[in-house]
Chains A and B, each alone.
Chain A
Amino acid sequence: MGFLFSVVAVLVLVGIALVGVGGLGLKVLFGVIIPYAAVLTFFAGLVYRVVDWARSPVPFRIPTTCGQEKSLPWIKPNKIDNPCSGGMVLLRMAFEVLTFRSLFRNMKLDYRQGPTIRYSSEKFLWLFAMMFHWAFLVVIIRHARLFTEPIAQWLQTLEHLDGFLEFNLATFGIGLPTIQISGLVLLGGVSLLLVRRIVVPSVRYISLAADWFPLFLITFIALTGILARYVIRIDVVKVKELAMGLATFHPVVPDGISVWFYVHFFLVCVLFAYFPFSKLMHLGGVFLSPTRNMVNNSRAVLHVNPWNYPVKTHDYHEYEDDFREEMVEAGLPVEKTLEEAEAEKAPAAPAPAEAEVTEEKED
């Protein structure tokens, strides 16, 4: 259900852009209004969500420790997976965010009836995720060339690194556009993630529309982007004009940009607007996860719970009151002798109680 819904939803979005721009010519809407609204939603939503998380209390220090803790001086602690200082936490987080260290650990269950259980290393998810996320990052950064003038040197360097068949371009001027590896890797990564979700039964079983939809959306974004670049060869100069207009808050809508550009652009806008309300917020969440971003020094340093409150306990005196007689009999020390306790319990003690008391030996 979620699968079909998501395909249809993305196709409908494509249709909306095609009709909106191609049929109705609503270029200002799709070129200016929606992009602004989407970017605004993105930033406002992102900030709201992250601040909301960040402000919620972390009552306990609960890191998941994946290595030796810092204990006795002669035992070597695992500084990355069991951080003992803020710096080590930064290191752990950096590995987590930049190299997906936890996913790298992934193992695959191999269950044989018998029963025998084996685990083998499983790096596909890690690989696909790395391809996807890093390529996505490069692609986004690359798009900055549309919004900046002059184009920064480092951006050009990045493009050179990303591109191949470059000499063709150099030789023939505006001939064949440079093939950008990042775009292809992005498309590859997202498709592989999609295929994995379809092919692995357990993953298919847990997938919701919210999982399919962003995958299809990003697939289509990548496809339309590649289409626009290599097949339709949209007029980059005009696109840049539009982008610069948006970036400088002097929007202009140049004529002659292919409708496919608007499809691409609209899908990107949808992605931006959808982002803060979806699981894509893992981007912000990964930094805030208490099991990963806390120092494991819970016994060495006091951690404060902002909502800690006093509770009813069964204190020692109540306990002794419950068992005093047995304790005395067993030779356990008591705070109050039986006589003292008895006297306290009944200040004007009636006579029969005394007999009981006097029999006990004192400590």
Chain B
Amino acid sequence: MAAKTPSPEVVGKIDHHPPAQNWMDTKPEFKPGNYLYAGKASALETVGLPNPRDWNPTDDDWKLPADWKGTVREGIAQRLERFRSFKLFMDICVRCGACADKCHFFIGTGDPKNMPVLRAELIRSIYRGEFKTAGKILGRLAGGRKLTEEVIKEWFYYFFQCTECRRCSVFCPYGIDTAEITIIAREIINLIGCNIDWIASPVANCFMTGNHLGLKPHTFKENIEYLLDDIEEYVGIKIEPSFNRKGAEILFVTPSGDVFAEPGIFTLMGYLMLFEHIGLDYTWSTYASEGGNFGFFTSHEMMKRLNAKMYAESKRLGVKWILGGECGHMWRVVHQYMNTLNGPPTWLDRPVSPITGTVFENAVSTKMVHITEFTADLIKNNKLKLDPSQNDHYTVTFHDSCNTSRGMGMLEEPRYVINNVCNNFVDMAPQVIRENTFCCGSGSGLNAGEYLEMRLRGGLPRANAVKRVAEDKGVNMLSCVCAIDRAVFPALMDYWVPGTEVCGVSELVANALVMEGQGEREYNLRGEENPSYVPPEEPEGEGEAGEEGEE
């Protein structure tokens, strides 16, 4: 938005050699396109975050609160006590460098401070300089430095240049998770009011309206109703879902990104059609209308405050369990944090699929099931009528979202589903999928317009892997189970791999669904002519009328 994005040729010229200068002597350069706007005072006020004020990262004076140093020190001390991960990761890194070239931001920028090890050193050096005797006395020789305003600026710059994707942690011999360090570091700078608008505003929106876009209840409902009209037009099926309905069996929660923008809305149409097809007794909630949790990028406390609405709503509506849509960090939070922070939800039942009777044993405590697990189970039990040839014009590859792969381990389910609804599926190279997957480059709240150049840089490794399968295998559809991915991949693909489309897995499922009473599938959910549609040969072949209904 703000900056003109340089061409791929320019952005692709990257030097990965570190400069001669010691890293403690280099400073970040806040240039348009590579820094994020500051969190707005009003958003901070809404949720009671500290130090609301108008400021800009390019300002000299960041208007930090009077005793900001004390606050930061205290913040670090408290977190050292609360998180073994933090304390341990401050102490045991041997700087072997195994993580160094694994970060997409390092690959895309060549900036050595984007090597995970050095990103962590940004805070480790303060830990040593301010908390450890050797660092206090020997200073830089012991790898320690003092807390200054410069350091805060550097933290802001580099901790919002980490998508918390955990790729580094896979390769570290001790599992040091720089994402965990970043999460805590962001929490610390939030204490002095250093945050970004693209997180702070969604947080405030989520808090007040239930979803990060700030869709009010009626708008939320209306948006979905538009999509129902589209389904009626393209599929010929009239669907009437319920909202805030008490006594439904299942509460469905998906990221609100699916409700309003392409191509997420096609995924949402996919959910609607799937649920209609199996006759699921479920409801949407306008209050718990967001699965994605931007609190996760703010503080553990904020994560808890925002996620609480899902359980609260399940209780109020009296549902049996919760089904969750396709989202990355929503699922990291649901999988790893929700039960601990907001649970246990004693009022809910064990999640059992009402269609297949399968008990989701892996979710018996949180009572939250992932839509892809749910769909995989339906397919396995032959509960869906599918015609995968409807996706024949796509050659599909799958992007493992960082959170569902490295924070959950959901790798096979999406592949199983895709393979059952598409005839042409190819995986990208093994070095860049599953736990080795590359981030979209815009996760953890970094998908702001003003940050586009940095996002394209961070997304380069992912795009490059897609480009290879696009060129070698003819891939033209990048599928994923993450709403952020769906939101940011179109721009990333247009830039690095033009011609590749993006979709959620549920959209592919819906394309292949053969629904009772459906019309001709001449158009796909996107309203485009469906190239895989074969019109029935009524005028010519007389004796073949019987086939019509089958196909």
Contact = CB atoms under 8 A, between A and B. Distances in A.
B316 interface: yes
Interface stretch (B91-99, B147-155, B505-513): B91-99
Interface of B is mostly: helix
A300 B118 CA distance: 36
Interface of A is mostly: loop
B88 A53 contact: yes
A291 B175 contact: yes
A62 to B, nearest CB: 5
Contacts of B373: 71-72
A125 B116 CA distance: 17
Interface string B369-380: 000010011001
A326 B134 CA distance: 62
Interface string A320-331: 101100110111
A202 to B, nearest CB: 5
Contacts of A198: none
Interface string B176-197: 1100100000000000000000
Nearest to A78: B409
Contacts of A202: 16-18, 97, 100-101, 112, 115
B18 A290 contact: no
A69 B362 contact: yes
Interface in B382-408: 405-408
Interface in B127-144: 134, 140-143
A65 B405 contact: yes
B45 interface: no
B97 A68 contact: no
B325 interface: no
B318 interface: no
Nearest to A289: B175
B352 interface: no
B83 A59 contact: yes
Contacts of B431: 107, 119
Contact of B115 (A114, A206, A288, A301): A206
Contacts of A113: 12-14
Contacts of B407: 62, 64-65
A329 B377 CA distance: 39
B406 A332 contact: no
B341 A308 contact: yes
A314 B222 contact: no
Interface stretch (A21-29, A97-105, A219-227, A239-247): A97-105
Given A64-B406, A300-B365, A332 B107 contact: no
Interface in A269-328: 277, 279, 281-282, 285-286, 288-292, 296-305, 307-308, 311-316, 319-320, 322-323, 326-327
Q: How large is the interface on B (under 10, 10 to 19, 20 to 34, 35 or more residues)?
A: 35 or more
B218 A326 contact: yes
Contacts of B365: 299-302
A35 B265 CA distance: 70
Contacts of A43: none
Contact of A291 (B85, B91, B222): B85
Nearest to B434: A67
Given A69-B410, A291-B177, A302-B365, A56 B91 contact: no
A333 B244 contact: yes
B344 interface: yes
A86 interface: no
A142 interface: no
B33 interface: no
Contacts of A300: 361-365
A125 B172 CA distance: 12
B304 A311 contact: yes
B68 interface: no
Interface in B310-339: 312-313, 316, 334-337, 339
Nearest to B84: A56
B486 interface: no
Q: Chain A CB within 10 Å — which of B92, B221, B316 has the most?
A: B92
B287 A319 contact: yes
A200 interface: yes
A166 to B, nearest CB: 35
Contacts of A78: 409
A299 B335 contact: yes
B174 A282 contact: yes
Contact of A100 (B8, B93, B173, B464): B173
B442 to A, nearest CB: 18
A106 interface: yes
B73 interface: no
A209 interface: yes
A39 to B, nearest CB: 21
B411 A297 contact: no
B80 to A, nearest CB: 8
Contacts of B363: 299-300
A67 B410 CA distance: 8
Interface stretch (B163-171, B226-234, B255-263, B445-453): B163-171
B173 A286 contact: yes
Given A5-B141, A206-B118, A333-B246, A61 B175 contact: no
29 contacts: A52-B87, A57-B82, A57-B83, A62-B177, A64-B169, A71-B360, A71-B373, A72-B362, A74-B380, A76-B412, A103-B96, A105-B170, A106-B171, A109-B101, A200-B97, A202-B101, A211-B95, A282-B92, A286-B92, A289-B174, A289-B176, A296-B409, A298-B335, A299-B366, A303-B340, A314-B305, A316-B316, A323-B217, A327-B217
Given A206-B117, A209-B143, A311-B308, 13 more contacts: A53-B91, A59-B340, A69-B362, A73-B361, A78-B409, A115-B8, A129-B173, A202-B17, A204-B18, A286-B173, A289-B88, A305-B341, A330-B218
* In the complex, the 7 A-B pairs of residues with the closest C-beta atoms, listed nearest first: A69-B409, A330-B218, A285-B92, A115-B12, A65-B409, A109-B101, A291-B175
